[in-house]
Amino acid sequence: MRPPTGDYPLRLEDEHIPMVRFQNVTKRYGDLVVLDSLDLDVEEGEMVTIIGPSGSGKTTVLRMLMALEMIDDGVIYLEGEPMTHMVKNGTLIRADKKYLRRQRLNIGMCFQHFNLFPHMTALENCIEAPIQVLGLSKTEAVERARDLLDMVGLLEKSDEHPSRLSGGQKQRVAIARSLAMRPKVMLFDEVTSALDPEVIGEVTQVIRKLVDKHNLTMLMVTHQMGFAREISDRVCFFYDGKIEEQGAPEQLFENPERERTQQFLSAVLEAT
Amino acid sequence: MTFIEFLKTYGPQLANGSVTTVMQTLLAAGLAILIALIAGLMRLSHSRLIYGAATVYIEVFRGTSLLVQLYWIFFVLPLFGLSLEKFTAGFIAVGMNLGAYGAELVRGGILSVPKGQWEAATALSMSPAKMMRRIIFPQAFLNMLPPWGNLLIELLKGTALVALISVADLMFVARKINGVTYLSAQAFGTALIIYYLMSRGLITPFMRWLEGVMTRKLGKA
């Protein structure tokens, strides 16, 4: 239980508190530094998209925030409270499992490969955690799940198992499953990368709907530049475990300042 | 003596022995499954002590002969003040032995569940116990079924050893008939056929059926 090196507040007490703050976050796999002293704030209701070449640490950002893996240095704050750490005897110590479970309740995550539970129907996938974790009654959970499945356009598929759904449908169920926990922050980890081109639209449409109608804070890693540009409040270009450049989508896509950003964007545009 | 006459004369005894063999198999299987679950989960523990205890158990019971273990439990444990009836000693020895093999099947089955399933359940804040019970184990169970079918057949055949501590199972009866009549081919031939029918006629179809049920339950069919 080693405290983070350096000075970190026990909780953020500024007048303005970001929904998510990465402060000096470092993640290594052996000698490989995947995130290098990352500082990043995400405001409430903001949609931040992370782009960059593979191996640049994009996905790691989301995995660290969900605490699927532990960071090596720094602190992540959620609504001003430490996420990766907890306060004990006036200092920050590594969060224990119970604390992490409580903090994770605020965050929902959708994965590239959906990770739906194959032994449950679409509806069962969506009511499982609300009942088992939040303690909702079955009636409440089903009502909530049906609303969400309706929202993603899959109410009629409620009783199908994931094996009977297309990739796009699976991802939409996965989004509904995450939303059923009523998270404050949603993470989308390359949610369209494993999809056939013709079904990508049905997933992006759902995300667009979330952006338009809900005040969710969202972090999205994607390779779809067009979608990122259209939907984001801010785009971060990652390179080598760091934010090489960030800004409003128009600015970053049209007038990138850094050479690496320009190279990346022209290479990506070449491919599409 | 024709084979028909042989069956008329010794059929009832062989039937009694078969019932004992079935009982031994069922009890040993129950014990083996229980031990396999516990030891298999212990082998996944991060605690060195828990992991180590299960590893020692599995090593000892897989690394030594079932017959020696049976003799230990029946003949040696009484020297330490623990006397078991021969019937009990029989299925406990077989169950503990096959449970050690089963533990590795449980562990392997659980590890075969894709990492994404654990991550999805973690992201939904599920507790480790609920994650295991509701998400991981049901999927692991299906993966485990085919090797468990093999193991249960091994277990059935393993129960033949309990005849050596005088449990009156099928093998014991066959040996007795042989000793009295010298009709070796008939006695052991019949035992052979009965063992074969039990494994191929009962265990295999049962496991197939269970696999079918679980596959449908998991929505894969």
Identify all chain B residues contacting A133, using CB atoms and an 8 Å cutoff.
124-127, 130
Q: pTM for this structure?
A: 0.87
CB contact under 8 A, B125 and A101: yes
Tokens 């989508």 identify what position? A249
User: What CATH architecture does domain B3-217 belong to?
Assistant: Orthogonal Bundle (1.10)
For residue A158, what are the CA distances in angstroms to A117, A123, A172, A175?
14, 5, 12, 14
What pLDDT does A13 receive?
84
Question: Searching chain A, which residue's CA lies closest to the CA of residue B119?
Answer: A68
Q: Apex CA A80: angle with CA A77 and CA A85, to 5°? A: 40
Q: How many CA within 13 A on the CB side of residue A97?
A: 5
Q: State ipTM.
A: 0.92
Domain count, chain A: 1
- Once rounded to an integer, what is the mean pLDDT over residues B12-34? 94
Q: Do B123 and A113 touch (CB under 8 A)?
A: no
Indicate whether A96 belongs to any domain. no
Nearest CA distance, B28 vs chain A (angstrom): 30
Q: Per-residue pLDDT tens for A45-60? A: 999 999 999 888 899 9
Residue A90 lies in a domain: no
Q: How far is A177 from chain B (nearest CA, A)?
A: 9
Q: Do the Cβ atoms of A181 and B218 come within 8 Å?
A: no
Does the pLDDT value for residue B59 go beyond 90? yes
Under a CB-based contact definition with an 8 Å cutoff, are residues A45 and A203 in contact?
Answer: no
- Domain extent, residue A174, equals 116-182
Q: Would you say residue B10 has pLDDT above 90?
A: no
- Mean pLDDT score across all residues of chain B: 92
Kindly report the nearest CA distance between residue A262 and chain B, in angstroms. 34
